Structure 1
């Protein structure tokens, strides 16, 4: 069976429940973002996450917070210093970012997008809390679609192309083989070229063979793959490969950030081990 036919984005949504509960635990989300399934999975995994933290110094929730808060920091800078007024968060899941940023910046247009079932659930959640309005919306998208009304071009069609835009994906790209995700990045870069300025924020977990906890990281990656009913490939080996990969996909400027180096400024405890997650800011 061809790679494209075997690979689907539909297996991603279950992990959104877990991260939604993590955001709530750390006071980044309202109680409405918590699901019973997310609470259950968090409790189920607690012995595993505790053991990884106590035995190997690997804190799964710290990694999630590092990436989330680093993306927040880059988005704030784009809004406050770059004049960005429209944001698209793809694979939004149960992310509370749209709610928080729309509250903080009343002028912001925020479009959340996900697969149809997850988008419908998110739309119902936000509507039920009275948080949806003309500037905060949810729609369906499939990042692998190259035609139809769920493709990227349809997602961006109603935005103001004369203004800058920031696109965010969080907790998405490492669920796909590199060839497929680079295909998405190439289509995204092409769409962003239609705007006065296009900024893309995402995170990825490089294949850091030199990391002192590499063996435990690979074990954790296999566990994540089983829990989300898919693989969890690690992309690129270092900063140079990351920059080259994004430039190959059509991005002109690529910045690779290690959130562990900025932990204190992000409001997190300082870390002793090198970071495992990278946040990418790519521009066209």
Structure 2
């Protein structure tokens, strides 16, 4: 199996993303977005250890980490619900699913949809067992192993999408993934994903980015926070683009026909997205083919 190796990135390096899935999984549970099965002991421990750091960042710099996590999760949810209810989407693929409760929530709300969760093999096996024990696993809700760095073979994107009906609309989600990789890796993934999605009657891709917002009133503190996140997750946490327009242009260059970049602070009030004193740092990207 050929594997992408860009700027020193190896499959071992990509595996460091999984521990953060436990932390965010506990955040979703803590805010009533998931069930107890998704709140791992490791996630609870990580949240407790990081609580003083999160409190200090919020108190000193106005950087509310959980607010950004909730904004991205809830806004992706809102766009997905609209795609299902108004766009006729019946297939959803969530790559780097970790301990995301989204598949469970969406299958409860829309039992007619097929929901495929995917992650690196070890994390996928854990998620599959979690769903099996709870009785949630089935033909329409399954977990597959994938490595976004794999160009071919059983862990490739082509293998992941092979089991879907290309005559029906599909939504693909990656949450909490892209900012762990350098820009060349992100854009190689986008090109590979766009190539796979061209075969579907209609396709939408939802993800989030933290752009390098130099005009943000707390930019220096933001850079400090990015450095800290990189240390805590044992890797870098690069900010790839300096504007919403740059994100949209990059998405189009990678093969997407239409790219919208959504600021949570500018979304309708009825979405009930958490707001703070400072402008949001996260942006949701909605790309279509």
Question: TM-score range, shorter-chain basis?
Answer: over 0.9
How far does the alpha carbon of each residue in 1:164-192 deviate from its partner, in whole angstroms, 9 at most, with x for none?
10000000000000001100000000100
* TM-score, normalised via structure 2 length: 0.95
2:48 to 33, 43, 47: 43
Report what 1:98 is aligned to: 103
Q: Is the 8 A contact 2:29 2:38 kept in 1?
A: yes
2:222 to 186, 196, 217: 217
Correspondence 1:254 to 2:259: yes
How far off is 1:149 after superposition?
0.6
How far does the alpha carbon of each residue in 1:2-59 deviate from its partner, in whole angstroms, 9 at most, with x for none?
6354343211001001000000000001000011111111111111111111222111
Correspondence 1:70 to 2:62: no
1:107-146, aligned counterparts within 5 Å? Answer: 107-146=112-151
How far off is 1:270 after superposition?
3.4
Q: Is the 8 A contact 1:102 1:110 kept in 2?
A: yes
Report what 2:183 is aligned to: 178
1:3 to 6, 17, 41: 6
Secondary structure (helix, strand or coil) at the match of 1:6 reads coil
How far off is 1:264 after superposition?
3.4
Q: Is the 8 A contact 1:263 1:271 kept in 2?
A: no
Separation of aligned partners in 2, 1:98 and 1:62: 21
Separation of aligned partners in 1, 2:111 and 2:184: 39
Report what 2:27 is aligned to: 22
Assess, with a 3 A threshold, how the Cα gap between structure 1 residues 145 and 212 changes in structure 2: closer, same or farther: same
Q: Is the 8 A contact 2:264 2:273 kept in 1?
A: no
* TM-score, normalised via structure 1 length: 0.97
Secondary structure (helix, strand or coil) at the match of 1:61 reads helix
Secondary structure (helix, strand or coil) at the match of 1:32 reads helix
How far off is 1:225 after superposition?
1.0
How far does the alpha carbon of each residue in 1:199-246 deviate from its partner, in whole angstroms, 9 at most, with x for none?
000000000111011111111111111111111100110011011100
Secondary structure (helix, strand or coil) at the match of 1:265 reads helix
Assess, with a 3 A threshold, how the Cα gap between structure 1 residues 193 and 214 changes in structure 2: closer, same or farther: same
How far off is 1:137 after superposition?
0.2
Equivalent pairs counted in the alignment come to 283
Assess, with a 3 A threshold, how the Cα gap between structure 1 residues 263 and 31 changes in structure 2: closer, same or farther: farther
Correspondence 1:190 to 2:207: no
Separation of aligned partners in 2, 1:270 and 1:279: 15
